[in-house]
Amino acid sequence: MDRREFLERAGGFVVVAGFPRPFRLAEKLRDPRLRELDKLVQGDVLGRDDSGYAAAREVYSTRATVHPFAIVYAESARDVQRTILWARRHHLRIAPRSGGHSYAGYSLSAGVVVDVSRMNRMAVGAGQATVGAGAKLYDVYATLADHGVTIPAGSCPTVGIAGLTLGGGVGLAARKLGLTCDWLREVRIVTADGKALAANARQHSDLFWACRGGGGGNFGIVTSFVFRTYPVGNVVTYQCSWPWATAAKVIAAWQGWAPDAPPELMSLLDLSSSGPNITSGGQYFGTEAQLRAQLTRLFASSGQPSGLTVRTRPYLEAQRLWANCRDAADCHSAARATFKAKSDYANKPIPPAGARELIAAVDAHHADPRLGGAAVLFDAHGGAINRVPKAATAFVHRNALFSIQYIASWETNADANLAWIRKLHSAMRPYVSGFAYQNYIDPELATWKRAYYGSNLERLARVKRKYDPRNVFRFAQSIPL
């Protein structure tokens, strides 16, 4: 079972229809601030009393309960500029929103949400792609595939390219090609003073550096990205599973193998309370014979899996596999989840005591009838991810062996699920680095400044002071001044 399927089986996903075209109250009944904004921008403006507002307010996490004063569907950089200046005049907080996948719901604000989802056009050619900040990941993959190229990116098909890139961007091509932010050539961004800037290696290079891993919503609202592209045809995928009784042996074998495998191979390891079971999957730039030779090394230590599938696929088909999409239409289906997640980075192997903690936690979740679904997800690092120096981009996690994500999803008994994930995260403290992935943003993490940004934090703060000295773009875990 893959990662999206884990949530679906747990009942954590609720498929919702696409947003309807909004219908507003009669103009004379609307708040005068909304009437003012409506005259300033080309895109639609929704207030709390407008039809369509409830659907427009929904984001990926059902636990996000903030009700914005206004939601603006920006259709141009000019709309973004005017909305920022309007919000500042009226002393309203601003939240940029691309795909709305912030784990903590930070793409909502009690002030104004600047939704860039309509700014989703793409142009591909001459070794690069210009991508609107509102583009969803599957559409990026599909458009690039039409031209025989790709960029390294994630696996969730409806995540927005903006949030993914600005926080780093880890996916199945990461050990071969690096992070999404590593392929960035330029961003177009509207800053707190309403200026539309081009940030790249020559212009506003400090801001460009910060936009490669410094997290979304910190320095302005990005309206478009320019990426280098990579020619791609087929890749080879694998999926396998082992008996749960061998989980300790498999964890030890995988972490001794996956981070040191050739960079052409990206491997995942998942422990799921459904079963419980332990599975692995991955993507290889090469041949089936080469991949099988690499897997033989894993199986020599882990034991033979109870199931193994190795298959050559077109690159876009492989991305549908990791997204658990049946077809393109399925990859476009909007979904919401009731969940909690936390993350860690491991800079050295997890010892047997740490593996026992993980296995015991999954066993306990499986045995508790009050709980929904849960998983522990490992992503191998190394390769191209770790070849980039820590200070070269704002993404500091360049010496990890792998990341770990702990996730629970539920329909009822939220408190019991939250207690489970908090207990597990605490129990793993002796075995991990203390760092965490900023794209798995966690509002409960007290050490988030160091955990997300480490030695890059002070440089990020300098960029923040330069481009947003009044802290216009702020939220609970935004870069401090």
Residue 11 pLDDT level (bands cut at 50, 70, 90): very low
Q: Letter for the amino acid at 27?
A: E
Q: CA–CA distance from 191 to each of 54, 74, 107, 195 (Å)? A: 28, 15, 17, 6
Pick the CATH number of 3-115 from 3.40.190.10, 3.30.465.10, 3.40.50.2000, 3.40.50.720: 3.30.465.10
User: What is the architecture, at CATH level 2, of domain 122-231?
Assistant: 2-Layer Sandwich (3.30)
Q: What was the pLDDT predicted at 27?
A: 62
Q: What was the pLDDT predicted at 432?
A: 98
CB atoms within 10 A of CB 214: 28
Q: Letter for the amino acid at 312?
A: T
The percentage of the chain sitting over the pLDDT mark of 90, rounded to a whole number, equals: 92
d(CA 100, CA 23): 22
Q: What was the pLDDT predicted at 3?
A: 59
pLDDT tens for each residue of 67-112: 999 999 999 999 999 999 999 999 999 999 999 999 999 999 999 9
Of the listed ranges 27-31, 240-244, 305-309, the least confidently predicted one is 27-31
Residues 238/308, Cβ–Cβ less than 8 Å: yes
pLDDT tens for each residue of 263-310: 999 999 999 999 999 999 999 999 999 999 999 999 999 999 998 999
Q: What was the pLDDT predicted at 53?
A: 97
Q: What was the pLDDT predicted at 13?
A: 34
Q: Is the pLDDT of residue 24 over 70?
A: no
Q: Is the pLDDT of residue 416 over 60?
A: yes
Q: Is the pLDDT of residue 8 over 70?
A: no
pTM of the model: 0.94
Domains 3-115 and 234-454 share a fold: no
Mean pLDDT of 385-398: 98
Of the listed ranges 1-10, 44-53, 224-233, 285-294, the least confidently predicted one is 1-10
Residues 456/203, Cβ–Cβ less than 8 Å: no
CB atoms within 10 A of CB 369: 6
Of the listed ranges 14-18, 217-221, 328-332, 407-411, the least confidently predicted one is 14-18
Domain boundaries, the chain: 3-115, 122-231, 234-454
pLDDT tens for each residue of 179-216: 999 999 999 999 999 999 999 999 999 999 999 999 99
d(CA 31, CA 24): 11
Q: Is the pLDDT of residue 18 over 80?
A: no
Q: What was the pLDDT predicted at 453?
A: 98
Q: What was the pLDDT predicted at 109?
A: 97
CATH number of 234-454: 3.40.462.20
d(CA 418, CA 245): 26
d(CA 80, CA 96): 9
Cis peptide before 276 (omega within 30 of 0): yes
Nearest CA among 369, 320, 331 for reference residue 136: 331
DSSP collapsed to 3 states, the chain: CCHHHHHHHCCCEEECCCCCCCECCCHHHCCHHHHHHHHHCCCCEEECCCECHHHHHCCCECCCCCCCCEEEECCCHHHHHHHHHHHHHCCCCEEEECCCCCCCCCCCCCCEEEECCCCCCEEEECCEEEEECCCEHHHHHHHHHHCCEECCCCCCCCCEHHHHHHCCCCCCCHHHHCCHHHHEEEEEEECCCCCEEEEECCCCHHHHHHCCCCCCCCCCEEEEEEEECEECCEEEEEEEEECHHHHHHHHHHHHHHHHHCCCCEEEEEEEECCCCEEEEEEEECCCHHHHHHHHHHHHHHHCCCCEEEEEEEEHHHHHHHHHCCCCHHHHCCCEEECEEEEEEEECCCCCHHHHHHHHHHHHHHHHCCCCCEEEEEEEECCCHHHHCCCCCCCCCCCCCCEEEEEEEECCCCHHHHHHHHHHHHHHCHHHCCCCCCHHHCCCCCCCHHHHHHHHHHHHHHHHHHHHCCCCCCCCCCCCCC
Residue 392 pLDDT level (bands cut at 50, 70, 90): very high
